[in-house]
Structure 1
């Protein structure tokens, strides 16, 4: 089953194999989503189908559209599609495109949307995908297997941009020293494998006793940048608002503070709970809420789940229910409003 998840310390490549393919917070997701018989649902991160199967099993007659940008995940879901006898449709697409996909498959309005953010255990466990330094493989990290790879970014980006990516997306304190070392190393020969990069970072960043591998934060930062994960999350939140029916629920599971801050900011603002103003956003007139919170704060995994599945340690679930108010225009820069600077300022047009 689906095992998306990573520790808050970002120890990609160091999680236990015993916990692979276990859906994180499964019972809590079902409780927050409250799937109903005959309802229409969308799983924006299909993975190995853990949430998709559970939703359809819990709601007789319900139909579900599941998205995944990874073609391997889509191909691997063929048996589940057959088993669900027309109730499950898979589509290779980014979850930021969920509104267009829901329209294309005539699933609008939806009764629920679930998003499980982050890299999946299947991707981590495949050395050729380059997500993990647990295995030596090509420095790739592309979820869709297309576009610019981590190797392209590492070997072509200027030093300042690399330092900002490592700092803002990986929260790596020695970001400038790591970026400088990367630039020096690539002058001699391109960095093309996970082992090369991990060893280079480990020569710059001190290992903390009992802590994560020194390269953990750098790998996380590159993965987020390569796949535009924060931008996709923002797009998905706005898209869900546009396609959910009144009473429909949005459920989001995150595994890192950057992702959680964006979801928290969006739901607070859309439910009328955002602060009146801050240094990131001036005081403005309060718009009509479009959601009401299902839970006041984030839902975490139980102690039992954390003991049995290390992937659940940093998981946070936030959920909200859509009302009948019209969807609002997209926030101009939700990432900035959540207090996350852009590694490279967008060019003004």
Structure 2
């Protein structure tokens, strides 16, 4: 567990993820989503003096936590993991992506990620760039709002919620706090899934959209093809079906031999990856950290020419 006072963060699939990377002591690794550094610290503990760890994160609080690590083998970049492709091709022995929002981000009302604590309706991972959710809602068309809620939140009441947001902004202005948006959604969504707040899907949708999370994930996965050397491992921890679907399809697509139908006797195109594993948290981990319950980690190994 790593601590960010006053909020605590428990790293999900800590040992499982680092074990999946099959650490070589002299290797070079990437923690593409540093968070509060649980995975990074464990990776560093397995590296020799020649080993290297490069971390990425867009969150300023994460950067501040990373700067507390005084280790010449470690470097942190204030960038999203779409910049992974800027690393030297074939130079990396393992890439870890933990796609979850960290507990300090969720629990800090000032970040605006959660409907459980009142705060500004922001949701940006990097508060130095881009629009907040409230700024976007002030100018977005109703149909666009509905599309975002439907596609990224898989919410069947997307259009009704979008129309309610529009009616609210016409009358009193756009919602600017998390509690205002949560109440508006709750008043609009009349049927609720057992144990789930009616605002859950809408908040997920706006967070994913405002941070371009799925687009960035696809770019980072493609970049992993370039930077991983043969035998290098890719481990990705997802927390909802939209992310996991992208990861699964990516690994599946690049784990197949491709035949050219125009040249049926030619050798197939060599596979880029070999799927290694699919891992979920243990019952003990879920009991100790309920936020881990939806996590799924997929692991693949980069293949080389002639594999």
After TM superposition, is the score higher than 0.5?
yes
Q: Which residue of structure 1 lines up, in the alignment, with residue 274 of structure 2? A: 292
Alignment of 1:208 with 2:192, yes or no, is yes
Pick one of 282, 290, 293 that aligns with 1:302: 282
Q: Which residue of structure 1 lines up, in the alignment, with residue 78 of structure 2? A: 92
Q: Which residue of structure 2 lines up, in the alignment, with residue 32 of structure 1? A: 20
Alignment of 1:155 with 2:138, yes or no, is yes
Q: Which residue of structure 2 lines up, in the alignment, with residue 111 of structure 1? A: 93
Higher mean C-alpha deviation, range 218-227 or range 285-294 = 285-294
TM-score normalised by structure 1 residue count: 0.80
Matches within 5 A, 1:41-56: 41-56=29-44
Q: Which residue of structure 1 lines up, in the alignment, with residue 120 of structure 2? A: 138
Q: Which residue of structure 2 lines up, in the alignment, with residue 341 of structure 1? A: none
Measured in 1, the distance between the counterparts of 2:229 and 2:193 equals 50
Measured in 2, the distance between the counterparts of 1:286 and 1:217 equals 43
1:289 counterpart SS class: coil
Instruction: Report which structure shows greater RCO (CA 8 Å, sep ≥6).
Output: 1
Q: Which residue of structure 1 lines up, in the alignment, with residue 156 of structure 2? A: 173
1:294 counterpart SS class: strand
Measured in 2, the distance between the counterparts of 1:225 and 1:234 equals 14
Measured in 2, the distance between the counterparts of 1:160 and 1:176 equals 7
Q: Report the alpha carbon displacement of residue 119 of structure 1 after superposing the two structures with TM.
A: 1.5
Contact 2:7 2:107 in 1 (8 A): no
Q: Which residue of structure 2 lines up, in the alignment, with residue 280 of structure 1? A: none
Measured in 1, the distance between the counterparts of 2:8 and 2:294 equals 16
Q: Deviations over 1:84-126 (max 9, x none)?
A: x2011011001111121x34xxx95100000001321111121
Measured in 2, the distance between the counterparts of 1:186 and 1:169 equals 22
Instruction: List alignment gaps of at least 5 residues for structure 1.
Output: 4-17, 275-284, 327-349
How many residues of Structure 1 are paired with residues of Structure 2 in the alignment? 294
Pick one of 234, 241, 246 that aligns with 2:218: 234
TM-score normalised by structure 2 residue count: 0.90
